Amino acid sequence: MSDSIEYLKEAGSASIEIDQEVTDAVHDILTEVKSSGDEAVFEFTERFDGVDIDEFRISDEEIEAAGEELTAAEKETIDNTIDNVRAFHEEQREHIEGFETEFEEGVRLGQRIVPVESAGTYVPGGRHPLVAAPAMSIVPAEVAGVDRIVTCAPPQDDGSIQPAQLYAMDRAGADEIYSIGGAQAIGAMAYGTESVPGVAKITGPGNVFTTEAKRQVFGHVGIDFLAGPSEVLILTDETADPELVATDLLAQAEHDPNSRPILVSTDRDVAEAAVDALDEQASSLRTEDVARECWDENGEVVVADTRDDAIEVTNDYAIEHLQVMIDDPRSIVDDLTNYGSLFLGEHSPVVFGDKAVGTNHSLPTLEVARYSGGITVGTYLKTLTHQEATEEGAARIAPWAAEICKLEGTHAHQLSAEARLREDISSDYGP
């Protein structure tokens, strides 16, 4: 395929690896939080967020005050997103079921779907207080039935959480809210501190520090997946509107200098026109600095000879947001295998999924889409299996289990199986 695609623009550094410097810095933060608890969290909050606070937990009075700072229309906007996200995730829950079936006479096998007991939902807020983010992490946990939902977001200059974000956290269903950001928030929720009891699973997106911290605490707690700086790949043909393509690339580029905006096109003219339009449109953005830095460093433009080539290169990217702006977007859905969320046609921009429509915007980056989708209600559910055999069922299975044990040399296992043998039943279990 290499001859059939051409890079009109390549990223400065093509690596999707997190820098070793970030890895080391995060390791130090987590080690300190684990050993010194609150004291370390206070210190890192002062160092990285520039604020000296003596209490992380947000009180009911502060939550109420945040609501009072918002207009009725602003609250309605946030409520609308939360309602849409709840409706979509309730529908998801309907499709996850336990079961119990008699697979052999006297042998019942099944599974139960059980929520994790506690979840720590991280809400990013260092650059922009992302107001739709609480819905994305907290609502699915609530729909799953998680008993204790903790949420953290970085403090503002006065130590508080931005009012719209705080209102959304509360409305989405958080039980405990803390103003802690980045790796120290992940460490506090993973290991627990004097003021933040630890949780079983940590979810939610963030910058490289937050994401690397999740990677490092995995094992001690569960995590959803790695959801770092935003990515978009727009797949176009000759029918795409270059102005819209540019607008939608910039919408993800403004997130973070480390974001990845990618354009793959089967039409060179569209690709070139979109690049020109992006340059022009960036000038009028209030977030121009970040968007331009991101595009210059990480933007890529690929021209592919054929639609099949374009699909292949698109699947290789395993991108977070995949936006398809071709003649008949539905015609290629089955060929697209690696993405976090898919946006079909020019009327379905990524911003709809990010902010309002109801699907989840917490999505895999860094090629994690090769093996995982985004946050779903299932992120907060465990599938627990069980089995029950009658005396007769056990007697049928026992010889087969014992034979496997003999092959392995697991003698105690063998005896455990044979203890269930009943001579008067001949085994018809097994292959």
Burial classification of residue 411, based on how many CB atoms lie within 10 Å of its CB (0-12 exposed, 13-18 middle, 19 or more buried): exposed
The verdict on 126 binding ligand NAD (CB under 6 A) reads yes
**x/- letters, 137..176, toward ligand NAD (CB under 6 A):** -----------------x----------------------
Q: Regarding beta strands 319-325 and 231-236, do their DSSP bridges make them parallel or antiparallel, or are they unpaired?
A: parallel
Options 89, 255, 321, 361, the catalytic residue: 321
- Cα 126 from Cα 181, distance rounded (Å): 7
User: What's the angle, vertex CA 362, arms to CA 360 and CA 365, rounded to 5?
Assistant: 130
Q: What is the DSSP letter of 15?
A: -
**What separation in angstroms does the CA of 420 have from each of 309, 394, 395, 426?**
59, 6, 6, 13
Euclidean distance between the first and the last CA atom of the chain, given in angstroms as a whole number = 45
Contact characters 318-337, ligand NAD, x per CB under 6 A: --x-----------------
**What minimum distance in Å lies between the beta carbon of 394 and ligand NAD?**
48
- Closest distance to ligand NAD from the beta carbon of 26 (Å): 7
Q: Does 257 bind ligand NAD (CB under 6 A)?
A: no
Complex with ligand NAD: residue 122 or 167, whichever CB lies closer: 122
Which of 320, 367, 391, 403 is an active site residue?
320
Q: Which is nearer to ligand NAD, 48 or 429 (CB)?
A: 48
**Which residue number, 51 or 332, has a Cβ lying nearer to ligand NAD?**
51
Q: What is the rounded distance in angstroms from the CA atom of residue 426 to the CA atom of residue 406?
A: 19
**295 lines the binding site for ligand NAD (CB under 6 A):** no
Cβ-in-10-Å burial (0-12, 13-18, 19+) of 363 comes to buried
365 near ligand NAD, rule: CB under 6 A: yes
CB 374 to ligand NAD: min, Å = 7
- Residues 165, 207, 265, 314: which binds ligand NAD (CB under 6 A)? 207
Nearer to ligand NAD, 5 or 11 (CB): 11
Query: Closest separation between CB of residue 29 and ligand NAD, Å?
Result: 7
Catalytic (active site) residue 320: yes
Residue closest to ligand NAD when measured from CB atoms: 181
Active site residue 321: yes
Minimum distance between the CB of residue 44 and ligand NAD, rounded to whole angstroms?
7
227 binds ligand NAD (CB under 6 A): yes
Min separation Cβ 411 and ligand NAD, Å: 50
Query: Given the rule CB under 6 A, which of 69-77, 158-166, 359-367, 423-431 is the region that contacts ligand NAD?
Result: 359-367
Query: Is residue 205 part of the contact set for ligand NAD (CB under 6 A)?
Result: yes
Q: Which residues contact 360 (CB under 8 A, 6 or more apart)?
A: 85, 88, 89, 136, 140, 341, 353, 374, 375, 376
Question: How far is Cα 294 from Cα 300, in angstroms, rounded to an integer?
Answer: 11
Report the alpha-carbon distance of residue 94 to residue 268 in Å, rounded. Answer: 45
Q: How many residues bind ligand NAD (CB under 6 A)?
A: 30
Residue from 37, 134, 140, 181 touching ligand NAD (CB under 6 A): that is 181
| CA 188/CA 152 separation, integer angstroms | 10
CA distance 33 to 196: 11
What span, in angstroms and rounded, lies between the C-alpha atoms of 251 and 181? 24
Encode 38-48: b = buried (16+ Cβ within 10 Å), e = exposed.
bebbbbbbeeb
Burial class (CB within 10 angstroms; exposed 0-12, middle 13-18, buried 19+) of 425? middle
- The rounded distance, in Å, linking the Cα atoms of 44 and 182 is 9
Work out whether 209 is an interface residue with ligand NAD (CB under 6 A).
Answer: yes
- Confirm or reject binding of residue 389 to ligand NAD (CB under 6 A): no
**Sites of contact with ligand NAD (CB under 6 A):** 25, 48-49, 124-127, 130, 133, 154, 181-183, 205-207, 209-210, 227-230, 255-256, 259, 320, 361-363, 365
* Active site residues per annotation: 320-321
